Structure 1
Amino acid sequence: MSKRLTPPALPLALALIGLTPLAAPPAQAQARAQQAFARIDANGDGQISQEEFLALRRQMFAAMDADGNGQLTKAEIESARARQANGRTPRSNQIWKQDSNGDGVLTLSEYTAQTRGFAYADSNSDGVLSQQEFTRIARFLAPAQ
């Protein structure tokens, strides 16, 4: 996969922190990216660690797990995507690559086992996301409606 393509989970992650994948004026998009970065950077050290990224993934999981049973079904995932799609047709197949046992549901451990989004954003592979790395992937985003 080219690093220029946005991973399928990224739009949902960003929607959950107040951003959706829509074009925005550059200054507005940058301001929103900075606000989102500050919300994810729980310890305020100016970097997003892999643990902070995993905390976001856990929040995403909880937001999609409508019945709170610790498993995501196709219906729950599609419902979450429909809520953030703003009239676009969301992609739905990539998330199922995380279903390691092929049982048709995702557990939290399956959902957090892969951190492709983090690796994608960490362009210098130093194990943390800087504001610049985060803004690079968020620069095409606008505030959620």
Structure 2
Amino acid sequence: MKTLSTALFSVLAAMAISSVTLADPASTDAMAKHDKKGYFAHIDTNGDGVITKDEATTAALKRFEKMDANGDGQVTKEEAKAAHKKYKDEKRSCKDKKAK
């Protein structure tokens, strides 16, 4: 359990430092909604103005699952890079659609 907590904390810290979030690759509408709401509001699922440990853990696990392309319960550097590239490409695509 301590290893899981440490891993989740590391993931959350990395996300907070880089402010990179991974949106659902299948939905650019979800990305736009996430950008409007902001990162904090996206994690604060009940909208009470605070992020609980459960909300933070849920958000981190969702990101982890999106990065774990082969579903083996581990994220390699390659999977993390691919997920980041996919996010950037979709964000760019969403911005292009808005510009039109």
State the TM-score, normalized to the length of structure 2: 0.53
Q: Quick one: structure 1 residues 82 and 62, their matched pair in 2 at CA, closer, same or farther if it must change by over 3 Å?
A: same
Shift of the alpha carbon at 1:53?
1.6
2:53 partner amino acid? Q
Q: Does 1:33 pair with 2:43?
A: no
Q: % of aligned pairs identical?
A: 27
Structure 1 regions of 5+ residues with no counterpart? 1-5, 20-28, 87-141
Structure with higher RCO (Cα < 8 A, 6+ apart): 1
Q: Do the aligned partners of residues 35 and 144 (structure 1) sit closer, same or farther apart at CA in structure 2, a change above 3 Å counting?
A: farther
Higher strand proportion, which one? 1
Q: Which runs of 4+ in 1 moved over 6 A?
A: none
Q: Which protein has the larger Cα radius of gyration, Structure 1 or Structure 2?
A: 1
| CA shift for structure 1 position 56 | 0.8
1:75 to 72, 75, 78: 78
Cα 1:72/1:66, change in 2 over 3 Å: same
- Quote how far apart the aligned CAs of 1:80 are: 0.2
Gaps of 5+ in 2: 1-15, 24-29, 95-100
Alignment coverage as a number of residue pairs: 71
Asked if the contact 1:18–1:36 (Cα under 8 Å) also holds between the matched residues in 2, the reply is no
TM-score (norm 1): 0.39
Instruction: Tell me whether 1:18 sits opposite 2:21 in the alignment.
Output: no
CA contact (8 A) 1:18 1:144 kept: no
**Which of the pair is proportionally richer in helix?**
2
Q: Which string of whole-angstrom CA distances, capped at 9 and with x for unpartnered residues, describes residues 50-82 of structure 1?
A: 321221111000000011110001111111011
